[in-house]
Chain A
Amino acid sequence: MFDDFFIRALIAGIGVAFVTGPLGCFVVWRRLSYFGDTLAHSALLGVTMALAFEINIAISIFIISSVIAIILVKLEKNTNLPGDALLGLLAHSALAVGLVVIGFLSFIRFDVMGLLFGDILAVNVDDLIIIWGGGAIILIVLKIIWKPLFASTVNYELAEAEGLNPDRAKAIFTILMAAIIAISIKIVGLLLITGMLIIPTAMARNISDTPKKMVIFSICGGLLSVIMGLFSSLQFNTPSGPSIIAAALLLFVISLFKIKQTIQLKN
């Protein structure tokens, strides 16, 4: 049962969960889930660029997602459209353009399903290095910007007035978002990356009363989801991404009972 590819997928998934836990908390706190979706959709364009120019997929996704994020900021400044409309515009445009380009690259054999929903068979040793190396860098950078980012999440003006630099923290966080999408695409798939960021965090919110606990429970939830999801993926031959997200959903549903208990205790 423990074939090599499975161990690789498991190690990769665990690495991803360690990073999506804390990042997911900020996605939920700062209401960025749709923004995460937009970056993830633009990842498809990144993949096609990687195939066309024969560069590393993760690096290509990282570059394209960052570019999309910059375009978003420019559009927000220079148009009168609301944020969610711009996000929708960019998300679907990037997805559409990506799929059109794939159509032109007919000479390349290409598994679109694996790209959209994750493929544990596809994880190789290079991916492990990228996930764990990139993941470590993301976590270190997040630790460095934690204070200004967290303070400005609670109240932007308070953070700025008292000498922190919320704008810089926000810009760096955006880059971290692009990076996590780049490294987790093989395991979770681009359509479900935001789910991996949000659902374990939502579960964690139900059972925690401090930000620190929420981050820890979010990581634990992510790890459990990855392990449960990958085993069931192997068992039932289902795509890895949906299996992981379904496992996360299960944990979320269980956590709802905890809320009910707490509310009953209060009454």
Chain B
Amino acid sequence: MTIENNVLVKLTEVGLKQRNKWLVKGVSLIVERRKIVTLIGPNGSGKSTTAKIAIGLHKNIEGNVEKFTDKIGYVPQKISIDWTLPLKVSDFMVLTDELDEEKINEALKLTGADHLKNKNLGNLSGGEFQRVLLARAVSKKPDLLVLDEPVQGVDFTGEIALYKLIKEIADKLNCGILLISHDLHTVMTATDHVICLNGHVCCSGTPKDVAMNNEYKLLFGEQASQTLSIYEHKHDHVHSNDGDIKKN
């Protein structure tokens, strides 16, 4: 693969309008191999929508989506497994793809979930379930990983470990990652590009290192502050109720 076609997905001025309201508008982004692009923003800012547009889950969109791979691993934001369906972790791992035993074990081990293999999906805790979701997404060695709030329900230490893990996965699998976080303060140093959304792209760029931030050092320790970083910015506009944007 040459350097030129390292682009996995390219969004150009995409937007989605539902019930006369723009959910997102004018979003452009590129995810490249071995790069981590992080979308941040408050609730309802269109992060998940943008991710879904990128993987082709939304029809009738404006703008242009170019996908250069079909090997996509997806960790959705909300997933509730119905207990009417008895499902073990090992069954869940082969949900969309046939995998041999070895690959299943390898993926579960990678996310620290190998001890959960024979457990029923309904009996997992939030954090355990996130690890299994991540394991499933990486198990088929995708080119593009789309992770919608992959650390939700995971405790602080687990959260840091998972972020580190995601960073490792990007290198190990040689894949691109589109990561979503609602937490404005918790973005990895590993992130190559941060896009702040609020219905549109507020701002974007490389994240600033959080190592300078003493509060983070206090909260997570020296080790964690190397993993976590802060993305600071000021907004130059306000949002009205109908989704319009006014410059200050």
Contact = CB atoms under 8 A, between A and B. Distances in A.
B61 interface: no
B74 A211 contact: no
A154 B95 contact: yes
B173 interface: no
A151 B95 contact: yes
The interface size bin for chain B is 20 to 34
Nearest to B54: A161
Interface stretch (B18-26, B86-94, B227-235): B86-94
Interface in A133-191: 147, 150-151, 153-155, 157-164
Interface stretch (A53-61, A120-128, A202-210): A202-210
B72 interface: yes
**Interface on chain A toward B: helix, strand, loop, or mixed SS?**
helix
A147 B96 CA distance: 7
B56 to A, nearest CB: 8
B96 A210 contact: no
Nearest to B86: A209
Interface string A190-229: 0000000000000001001111111000000000000000
A28 interface: yes
* Pairs of residues from A and B, 8 with the lowest C-beta to C-beta distance, nearest first: A161-B74, A162-B96, A161-B55, A151-B95, A29-B85, A209-B86, A151-B96, A155-B79
A163 B87 contact: no
Nearest to A161: B74
Contacts of A160: 56-57
B11 to A, nearest CB: 15
A158 B72 contact: no
A208 B83 CA distance: 12
B84 interface: yes
11 contacts: A147-B96, A153-B85, A155-B81, A157-B74, A160-B57, A162-B73, A162-B74, A163-B72, A209-B88, A210-B86, A211-B91
Interface residues of A, number: 25
B242 interface: no
B85 A161 contact: no
B99 to A, nearest CB: 12
Given A29-B84, A163-B96, A205-B84, 16 more contacts: A31-B84, A154-B92, A154-B95, A155-B79, A157-B76, A158-B76, A161-B56, A161-B76, A162-B74, A205-B86, A208-B86, A209-B86, A211-B85, A211-B87, A211-B91, A212-B91
Nearest to B133: A158
B179 to A, nearest CB: 15
B100 interface: no
A164 B96 contact: yes
B174 interface: no
A133 B81 CA distance: 35
B52 A158 contact: no
Point out which of A159, A160, A213 has the most chain B C-beta atoms below 10 A from its C-beta.
Answer: A160
Interface in B193-247: none
Contact of B72 (A147, A151, A162): A162
Contacts of A154: 81, 85, 87, 92, 95
B86 A214 contact: yes
Given A154-B81, A205-B84, A208-B86, A159 B96 contact: yes
Nearest to B76: A157
Interface string A227-261: 00000000000000000000000000000000000
A161 B72 contact: yes
Nearest to B83: A205
A28 B86 contact: no
A265 to B, nearest CB: 15
B70 interface: yes
A120 B87 CA distance: 38
Contact of A211 (B52, B70, B79, B86): B86
Interface string B76-119: 10010110111110011001110000000000000000000000
A209 B81 CA distance: 14
Contacts of A214: 86
A6 B72 CA distance: 54
A211 B82 CA distance: 12
A209 B88 CA distance: 8
B83 to A, nearest CB: 9
A205 B120 CA distance: 14
Contact of A158 (B87, B88, B91, B95): B95
A209 B97 CA distance: 21
